[in-house]
């Protein structure tokens, strides 16, 4: 399948505008804190949510709104998670009502999300007062403003868009995401909002959403903490003009492949921008008995604090990789495993048949001095393969989270 990454973010697909403003939820007047993505018609819509037992009020409201598989807008604030608040549901619903009135749509057609500090009341007044300006901010070039408005401790704006051909029609998928700390999705604080102009049924869109999340966002980890507000949503306008995708087959597979590529790109951006991070870690496991086992092992490796610290220190301590593989739940033989470490500076094998092999520490240091590190593990006992993404563990991570609330 041929696809191309393009500009435009969530506004690249036909039928969508976006924008963002400073509403006053955050103290810094230079920081946008209220985002809106708006569709010019009713869309098929789907979402997956955190499996944390503590769920933010916006997730509960959104789940109710998406029971019919339809939506027209995404409204998201940063600076406050609206979680563990006695009036959380009321606030989330009031935010939807306020946006619905100014957009002239049904309040039940709004996906609502929040991100920020947990357990702090979210005032509704600044949100309502900013709705006029938020609507005025909507434009075909508004994706960066929306992406900026959902950021918390992120240091980089995260947006992407991809174009591909389906049934002879030019199709687009675009997305924005946020997440830097508390990233260990299980569907960080991780939010991702995707738009597409592909015509697809709500039922299949939901399946594509869930399956893609499992292979992308659920395969990243910054710190092992699963947020209360994780959410991944998709709206499909159908304006590309393709025949409606209503069953699995070639068209569905092509759509899902493009969606996967977009979400993999955003997943890597999320992992690379982990709080205090200096390196993106990518672990690919192959030769596992099955895909599920490969996925568990890859996630174990990128979650290992000892390995993350070693990567920060540019220390090729491969024993920590084998250790993380070894404590992963699954039926496999570590004595057959081989491990290599690579980057744009080269590649070295550090372990073969479960035992260390001689390698140049000087060459290893050169490889680990790059900002993207690939860890490859081959179990040599099956066809299972999976990739996970993470980052190194630095002094700055503790500094950021030591006084996050105060």
> Buried (b) or exposed (e) across 245-259, using 16+ Cβ within 10 A?
beeeeebbebbbebb
151 and 58 part of one domain: yes
275 is a domain residue: no
Task: Choose among 283, 294, 357, 270: nearest CA to 321.
Answer: 283
User: Positive or negative, the Cα torsion across 297, 154, 197, 70?
Assistant: positive
Q: How many domains does the chain have?
A: 2
Among the candidates 214, 244, 270, a domain finishes at 270
260 and 397 part of one domain: no
Residue 19 tokens read as 């924008």
pLDDT tens-place string over residues 87-133: 999 999 999 999 999 999 999 999 999 998 888 999 999 999 999 99
**Is the pLDDT assigned to residue 402 strictly greater than 90?**
no
- How many Cβ atoms from other residues are within 10 Å of residue 347's Cβ? 13
User: Positive or negative, the Cα torsion across 60, 146, 269, 222?
Assistant: negative
355 is a domain residue: yes
206 and 295 part of one domain: no
Q: What is the CATH number of the domain that holds 65?
A: 3.60.70.12
212 and 241 part of one domain: yes
40 is a domain residue: yes
- If you write DSSP's letter for every residue of 304-346 in order, what string do you get? -HHHHHHHHTT---THHHHHHHHTSSSS--GGG-EEEEEETTE
Among the candidates 243, 270, 297, a domain finishes at 270
263 and 306 part of one domain: no
pLDDT of residue 184: 47
| Distance between CA atoms of residues 188 and 168, nearest Å | 37
Please report which helix (H) or strand (E) contains residue 302, including its range.
helix 291-303
CA 15 to chain centre: 23
pLDDT tens-place string over residues 353-364: 999 999 999 999
Q: What is the CATH number of the domain that holds 365?
A: 3.10.20.340
142 is a domain residue: yes
Residue 219 tokens read as 């395969």
22 and 82 part of one domain: yes
Question: Which range is most confident: 212-226, 266-280, 377-391?
Answer: 377-391
In whole numbers, what is the pLDDT of the chain averaged over residues?
93
246 and 138 part of one domain: yes
375 and 308 part of one domain: yes
pTM above 0.75, yes or no: yes
75 and 221 part of one domain: yes
**Is the pLDDT assigned to residue 177 strictly greater than 60?**
yes
pLDDT tens-place string over residues 194-252: 999 999 999 999 999 999 999 999 898 865 555 667 889 999 999 999 999 999 999 99
pLDDT tens-place string over residues 238-257: 999 999 999 999 999 999 99
Residues catalogued as catalytic: 189
**Is the pLDDT assigned to residue 188 strictly greater than 50?**
no
389 is a domain residue: yes
384 is a domain residue: yes
**Is the pLDDT assigned to residue 180 strictly greater than 80?**
no
Residue 344 tokens read as 């744009």
Counting residues of the chain whose pLDDT is more than 90, the rounded percentage is: 82
28 and 54 part of one domain: yes
Among the candidates 225, 246, 270, a domain finishes at 270
307 and 254 part of one domain: no
386 and 331 part of one domain: yes
Domain of 301, in residue numbers? 280-402
């Amino acid at each position: 399948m041929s696809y191309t990454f393009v500009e435009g973010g969530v506004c690249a697909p036909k039928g969508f505008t976006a924008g963002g403003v400073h509403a006053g939820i955050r103290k810094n007047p230079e920081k946008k804190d209220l985002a809106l993505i708006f569709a010019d018609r009713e869309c098929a819509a789907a979402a997956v949510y955190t499996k944390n037992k503590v769920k933010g009020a916006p997730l509960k409201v959104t789940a109710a709104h998406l029971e019919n598989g339809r939506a027209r807008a995404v409204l998201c604030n940063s600076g406050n998670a609206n979680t563990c608040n006695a009036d959380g549901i009321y606030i989330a619903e009031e935010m939807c009502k306020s946006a619905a009135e100014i957009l002239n749509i049904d309040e039940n057609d709004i996906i609502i999300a929040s991100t920020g500090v947990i357990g702090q009341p979210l005032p509704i007044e600044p949100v309502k007062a900013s709705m006029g300006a938020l609507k005025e901010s909507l434009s075909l070039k508004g994706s960066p403003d929306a992406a900026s408005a959902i950021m918390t401790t992120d240091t980089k704006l995260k947006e992407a868009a991809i174009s591909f051909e389906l049934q002879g029609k030019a199709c687009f998928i675009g997305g924005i995401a946020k997440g830097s700390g508390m990233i260990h999705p299980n569907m960080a604080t991780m939010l991702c909002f995707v738009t597409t102009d592909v015509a697809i049924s709500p039922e299949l869109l939901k399946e594509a959403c869930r399956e893609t999340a499992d292979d992308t966002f659920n395969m990243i980890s910054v710190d092992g903490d699963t947020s209360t507000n994780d959410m991944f949503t998709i709206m499909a306008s159908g304006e590309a003009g393709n025949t409606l995708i209503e069953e699995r087959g070639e068209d569905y597979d092509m759509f899902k492949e493009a969606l996967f590529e977009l979400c993999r790109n955003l997943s890597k951006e999320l992992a690379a921008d982990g709080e205090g991070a200096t390196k993106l870690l990518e672990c690919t496991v192959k030769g596992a008995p099955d895909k599920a086992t490969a996925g568990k092992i890859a996630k174990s490796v990128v979650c290992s604090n000892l390995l993350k610290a070693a990567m920060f220190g540019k220390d090729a301590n491969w024993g920590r990789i084998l250790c993380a593989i070894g404590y992963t739940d699954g039926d496999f033989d570590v004595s057959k495993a081989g491990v290599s470490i690579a980057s744009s500076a080269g590649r070295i094998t550090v372990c073969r048949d479960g035992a260390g092999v001689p390698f140049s520490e000087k060459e290893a240091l050169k490889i680990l001095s790059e900002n993207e590190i690939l860890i490859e593990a081959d179990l040599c006992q099956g066809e299972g393969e999976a990739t996970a993404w993470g980052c190194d563990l630095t002094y700055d991570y503790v500094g950021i989270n030591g006084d996050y609330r105060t």
